[in-house]
Homo-oligomer: A and B are copies of this chain.
Amino acid sequence: MLTLYSFWRSSASYRVRLALEMKGLNYAYEPVHLTKGGGAQFSAEFRQINPQSRVPALQTETGVLTQSMAILEWLEETYPQPALLPADATGRARVRALCMIMVADVQPLQNVSVSRYLQQELGIDELRVKAFVRHWIECGLAAFEAHLAAGGAGRFCHGDQLSLADTCLVPQCYAARRYGVDPAAYPHLARVEGELQTLEAVRRAAPDRQPDAEG
């Protein structure tokens, strides 16, 4: 049995929910509220699960897994069908590079802990913190768009088959809108996201469909 420690609005949690749903896996959902009180991720109880106080964490029969990208790769290895990585090494490298644009180039800079540091330690006002976050989202979406525009995309990010790149694209589009960046400015990426949003698996993973969603 799999248990996902997740926060409805967390991009990294959302990636893992998407992979779980695309693979048709059952899992228990354990909410970890990142912003209420000091943040439930810092509780003694959750630190037993993940000492790094981050979501997602995936409880498996063999222990707790952390870091969304490591969890995605583990899901792919443990539940290979339907595959979310292409069969060829070059294709896998392309999909992983797309993932890493979101996972390493954008998301770390929109992380709530970074915004908090900029406000509290550096005295940056909220408007300029949001502009900072928007800047990195725009850089990342532009890089992702350039990859898709260069060829290789089909119905989805990698041809017509779902892939881990799709699990990283959808949450980043969601976060972009929250910060006032419209994915429609990036036509290839926006078209693929539109396709993805028609899938029931993608809808089920959406933030507002989670038990801890707020209005």
Taking Cβ atoms with an 8 Å cutoff, the residues of A that contact B are 51-52, 60, 62-63, 65-71, 73-74, 77-78, 89-90, 92-94, 96-97, 99-101, 103-105, 107-109, 114, 117-118, 121-122, 124, 128, 131-132, 135, 143, 146-147, 150
Contacts and interface: CB of A to CB of B under 8 A. Distances in A.
Contacts of A96: 67, 69-70, 73-74
Given A69-B100, A70-B100, A117-B135, A51 B93 contact: no
Contacts of A118: 122
Contact of A77 (B67, B92, B103, B147): B92
A124 B129 CA distance: 13
Given A69-B100, A96-B69, A143 B51 contact: yes
Contacts of A143: 51-52
A73 B95 CA distance: 11
Contacts of A62: 90
A51 B104 contact: no
A66 B124 contact: no
B52 A146 contact: yes
B67 A100 contact: yes
A70 B165 CA distance: 12
Given A63-B90, A132-B122, A69 B104 contact: yes
Nearest to A109: B108
A71 to B, nearest CB: 7
A108 B97 contact: no
Nearest to A105: B108
Contact of A89 (B67, B74, B103, B135): B74
B109 A114 contact: yes
Contacts of A99: 70
Contacts of A74: 89-90, 92-93, 96
Nearest to A103: B104
Q: Which 8 A-B pairs have the closest CB atoms?
A: A70-B96, A108-B108, A67-B100, A67-B97, A70-B97, A74-B93, A52-B143, A51-B146
